[in-house]
Structure 1
Amino acid sequence: MAFHSLVGPLSDDEWSRKQGISGWTACELISHIVDGLAHTPDAIDHARQGKPFLNLPPFLSWLTDPINFWLSKWGRILKCARQF
């Protein structure tokens, strides 16, 4: 219920306006947090087994930053936001 009381009063303009230094909208930020929380159990399971979680193999590590940027700004996270 705290989540709904936090985001419920936001107008469409507030929901889509870029905020602060990051330039993320409230929709993108909340989607990122919700998506992260949804993956937490899997991440913990991988960590307990000593396995990487959502990491590229070392020879592709140079792609990590561009891929993370794309996912956070334009990828499936926006689809998640539309559910709320």
Structure 2
Amino acid sequence: MDIGLAFGKVVRQKRKEAGLTQEQLALEADVQRNYVSLIERGIHTPTIAVLFKLANALRCQPSDLVSDLERMLDKQADPS
């Protein structure tokens, strides 16, 4: 699985767990709503600065997002 697409799935999952819409996440993270959509669809990958903004808005650590991404990629790579 493409890293950008996997990261987008992680952000979407965290956003839904937090009970936020894309617009609410965008406002909290101080980014455009369209940008959140592009990240979630794997079209754009965020910079480190945006990663920190997203994590703050999602009330988690940036490392949590990266760890979740690693787990998702590991799960995709493990055929069993």
Give the TM-score, by structure 1 length.
0.30
Q: Which has the higher strand share?
A: 1
Structure number, greater radius of gyration = 1
